[in-house]
Structure 1
């Protein structure tokens, strides 16, 4: 009888198997690593064999612990040229400069140069790829922003490519697979507009979209095995069975999606784990001193220490005007002489952000609106003052504003005492912000299918079956005229015009005929 029970259980749960995944993650930006590392850990937790291939570009990320469950990590030391390219990027200028599509292009090209140099380094020494080739990977997960992954996939002979994106969407990804991404209804990756745009905003969004399409391209790369064979990025992207994007349908703008696009936004947030995190005595002491507490952090790519002094001084004055509120500010250097030794202001080069957001004693978050921070505060139900600096932060702030739990300020408002003070006062005292933030958190907690489940099920399906041409829509190959039915519109319009013309001629002829008859009868 016991054997029968065991057999029934095995039939019920089905066969168990492990698939081999390679997650390719160059170390150059914290939020991107965190996203890909969470994908790796989720697949490892599902019982699969995961290798995390992490070429180092910026050494400051070399010893950061991003992985928990995934133990097979392959680091690749950078060449001197690659390392120098990593440190050449300077984003602090965006504290005082606009970050339009045109102004942001040089930053994107800086990333492209890094990835191209990484490609050159790998081409020069294939030893690490030769070792990886022996592992017979079923699928490769990588970020679409890094074109180096395509020749790697071709060289390793991986049957399933799974492009991913640590941001909410990429218009080029959508266009390549035939997915609608009209700039009239969908804000671009770095747009400062929402989805309900005026004519002027739609025009700017469209121009920005066209500018990116025309001036941001992958550098040409050839096969590692055959230098005469050019890598076809577009074809390899189209043949990818699925794409994973860091967007959540209950948080982001609604938009038309193909089956290929899998939204796994929130995968990097483990709400249960966050709520179980223990704060150190230092932070417990701070939080228990006052009834209300505010966390200030502007992320890991642009530092608070680099903001204009006028911004720092305004923030300090605002903090000084709230003596009954504690402020914890992530600040990256020791010199805080501008802060007047305020008793309710506490600096730290690093803060346990997730543990603080999960703590009921934290009242609000002042943040740069990076997607990771926006997602974390949304899952934890914290009201926030959003101060986007550059890139997708502007779009993220607009996205969250739709849920009524936040206030958005321009970075230039950091020099305006009244604006900043009023925003902090409102977010701390008006209950509607807290209620809206908590409602969103509850919805994210109760979403029908978790991001983790979406990832694992689609990744397993892709690794098992490889390319899925049945998911490739015919519309992808249609011309602009056919897709937007311009030919149909012109054809029907011509018929209508001809018909109306004929009717007009008939009416005129008939009227003249009867007038002529009347004249003859008279």
Structure 2
């Protein structure tokens, strides 16, 4: 028996790998996504370290992992803390009323880039923590693809195998980097509000925006933390990734061409059976029992309800007042709601709500949300009809992605001041049974997809740990020039040949006619 146990342990150790998951704490949904990756790898028997340097201090004491116990923190510098305060204080609240076009988003991206640059400086000044990490001899490093401070960290820790990952659906710059087809005629950037079918002008905007973002922002310059502090060529290193994990699901997202290297793990953080097994507290259960129907209202953790224009708040309240048999649970981050709610009895305000548990409860009728990808995945897997009111960034695209399944309604943020339109949306989502039926149909498809996102992620991560970088998955197409890739030289050659053939045929026919006339 002891011999058997010993052999079993040796076998297990032989197939146990060391993973480092790097995810600075700046947004709740992003940390949740990477925390889930940690736990699934830990549950598969691997040694996982979750490295979570603090940026937004309010997330420091939140546990984003359950089975993964090796969580390493790093305190921020004052400058980095200021970036975090800027994020959490509603500095981007202007997007409640302003357009979130690419020209408006670029300055926001630049702020994030500067924030990650400062994160690299913080790590450089805390090498004792990195030295402790280095002793763990990691096989693979997993990190958010656009958090470029990961590259000097990976260089210092001497990690050769890496998997850049996205907590969003896709990134055109990353696709082009690894050689994935990203034709602007069919694949729009995730920050653009385009759907599956692009008009002529949308295709023009798509080309200009992608090129502009790359030329204006590009890749940041990071130097090694080790002497002689050479510049790290991220653009050259990035394509060597073994795989790329993206938070996209083929049964939910728009179809698009991908590579074998691209692994879709969308919905990995939604464990339906586990969520449904969670019990609501007595307080929330009583709220769900107050009326026949209940709608949850939440706009996420970046753009907060408390920063919404007062007129929009009043319009929402006026619309809610019309539905006396419906309870509205509104995630509202302040206690000033009395000044616009006027004591309306069917609204329950709360600074925090157990969103997942509420969405999993059959007594919840619908969800009014901002269309963040985390919420999109949750309501899709749980079969909840929704009103999607996108505010900025990828939320516009997410909204079009989900509404095409006919289980949700898109709603413009510029109509939030119109109580009549809000009431019409409530009426439709509550009393048109087709939305509920289509939502449940989508949830059933996701529950029965042939390959589960969790299994796919774990198997690909293990494969990368075992075999390292995989040059066989690196397409030659990414090294082609513009003329070669789009076969312009072939088209030109064919055109010349065709022109020559036409010329020769015309000459022959002309000579034939002349001969006939002479005869």
TM-score by length of 2: 0.96
Cα offset, 1:380, TM superposition: 0.4
Q: In the alignment, which residue of structure 1 is the partner of 2:384?
A: 382
SS of match in other structure, 1:491:
helix
Q: 1:437 aligns with which of 436, 439, 444?
A: 439
How is 1:83-482 mapped onto 2 (pairs within 5 angstroms)? 83-89=81-87, 90-337=91-338, 338-482=340-484
Q: How many residues align?
A: 513
Cα offset, 1:14, TM superposition: 8.6
Cα offset, 1:423, TM superposition: 1.0
Cα offset, 1:238, TM superposition: 1.0
Kept after mapping to 1: 8 A contact 2:219/2:235: no
Cα offset, 1:205, TM superposition: 2.1
CA distance in 2, matches of 1:373, 1:330: 14
Kept after mapping to 2: 8 A contact 1:388/1:397: yes
Kept after mapping to 2: 8 A contact 1:144/1:165: yes
Cα offset, 1:263, TM superposition: 0.4
Deviation per CA, 1:406-448: give whole Å up to 9, x if none: 0001100111222211111011011111110000000000011
Cα offset, 1:206, TM superposition: 2.1
Deviation per CA, 1:65-112: give whole Å up to 9, x if none: 211111011110111111112223411010010001111011111111
Task: Confirm whether residue 62 of structure 1 aligns to residue 77 of structure 2.
Answer: no
Deviation per CA, 1:293-350: give whole Å up to 9, x if none: 1000000000000011111111001100111111000000011020111111000000
Q: In the alignment, which residue of structure 2 is the partner of 1:50?
A: 48
Cα offset, 1:493, TM superposition: 1.2
Cα offset, 1:16, TM superposition: 5.8
Q: 1:497 aligns with which of 496, 499, 508?
A: 499
Q: In the alignment, which residue of structure 2 is the partner of 1:520?
A: none
Deviation per CA, 1:357-407: give whole Å up to 9, x if none: 000000000000000000000000000000000001011001001111000
CA distance in 1, matches of 2:518, 2:139: 86
CA distance in 2, matches of 1:420, 1:340: 18
CA distance in 2, matches of 1:440, 1:252: 12
SS of match in other structure, 2:222:
coil
Kept after mapping to 1: 8 A contact 2:223/2:231: yes
CA distance in 1, matches of 2:70, 2:480: 44
Kept after mapping to 2: 8 A contact 1:54/1:73: yes
Deviation per CA, 1:170-209: give whole Å up to 9, x if none: 1111111111011211121112111111112222222222
CA distance in 2, matches of 1:207, 1:308: 32
CA distance in 2, matches of 1:236, 1:37: 25
CA distance in 2, matches of 1:396, 1:38: 21
Kept after mapping to 2: 8 A contact 1:102/1:211: no
SS of match in other structure, 2:48:
strand
Flag structure 2 segments of 5+ consecutive residues without an equivalent: none
SS of match in other structure, 2:231:
coil
**Pair 1:499–1:168, CA change in 2 (3 A):** same
CA distance in 1, matches of 2:337, 2:316: 12
- Give the superposed CA RMSD: 1.8
CA distance in 1, matches of 2:14, 2:138: 18
Deviates more, 1:199-208 or 1:167-176: 199-208
